[in-house]
Amino acid sequence: MVTASLVTEAENRMKKALEAMKREMNSIRTGRATPALIEGVGIEYYGVTTPLNQLGTITAPEARLLVVQPWDRSALPAIEKGILKANLGLNPSSDGAVVRIPVPQPTEERRREYVRLTKRQAEEFKVEVRNIRRDLIEKLRGMEKSKEISQDENRRAQDQLQRVTDSYIGQIDALATAKEAEVMEV
């Protein structure tokens, strides 16, 4: 059925939006060190900006420490400079083989700022999911107008699309709430 494939298409697009949100939420700093904090940081390496995760291994051996072990030791100064330039509030230090990055405990004010950022990102992803729904509803209306589907099929597909949308909005809210709790945890 044509409408079922449209609803499946919408669900796939919404799933991709949810995955993107999970990646974005991982980059928001909490009290714990996580490699996701710095893996996307751009490092100027031989004249090309390269994501940090492509220059070495990033690990979190302790709750408040990140360690970057570059595959090419000559990249150490560039990695340090790139992390400082990223303005993440992190101060890397190198011992000649690895870059150690202590992750300080965020202040109460900083935590609240991260919560606001989390809420803002969650709202942006909700808007994205709603835009996907709107696009497909417009397609369905166009199909009904051109007599490709009946009015009943259109209504059923829109109801199904709304249920899928509500499900993804709920998942986004749950992710945001969990991240807020994680950020506020001392």
- State the residue range of the domain holding 97: 35-102
| Ramachandran quadrant class, 52 (left: phi over 0; alpha: psi -120 to 50; beta: rest) | alpha
Structural domain count of the chain: 2
Instruction: Check pLDDT > 90 for residue 86.
Output: no
Please report the pLDDT score of residue 155 as a whole number.
92
Please report the pLDDT score of residue 136 as a whole number.
92
Final residue belonging to a domain, choices 51, 82, 102: 102
- Collect all residues with Cβ–Cβ distance below 8 Å to 171 and sequence separation of at least 6: 18
Q: Are residues 16 and 41 in the same domain?
A: no
Q: Are residues 148 and 174 in the same domain?
A: yes
Q: Are residues 169 and 120 in the same domain?
A: yes
* Average of per-residue pLDDT across 24-41: 79
Final residue belonging to a domain, choices 51, 73, 102: 102
Q: Are residues 139 and 168 in the same domain?
A: yes
The pLDDT-based confidence of 46 (bands split at 50, 70, 90) is confident
Q: Are residues 148 and 178 in the same domain?
A: yes
Q: What is the CATH number of the domain that holds 173?
A: 1.10.132.20
Q: What percent of the chain has pLDDT over 70?
A: 98
Please report the pLDDT score of residue 186 as a whole number.
64
What's the mean pLDDT when you consider all of the chain? 88
* Average of per-residue pLDDT across 35-59: 86
Please report the pLDDT score of residue 1 as a whole number.
67
In the DSSP assignment, the letter for residue 56 is E
Q: State how far the Cα of 183 lies from the Cα of 186, in Å rounded to an integer.
A: 8
Please write the tens of the pLDDT for every residue from 116-138.
989 999 999 999 999 999 999 99
Final residue belonging to a domain, choices 49, 77, 102: 102
Q: Are residues 97 and 134 in the same domain?
A: no
Q: Are residues 118 and 71 in the same domain?
A: no
Question: Which of 37-51, 76-90, 167-181 has the largest mean confidence?
Answer: 167-181
Q: What is the CATH number of the domain that holds 50?
A: 3.30.1360.40
Please report the pLDDT score of residue 128 as a whole number.
95
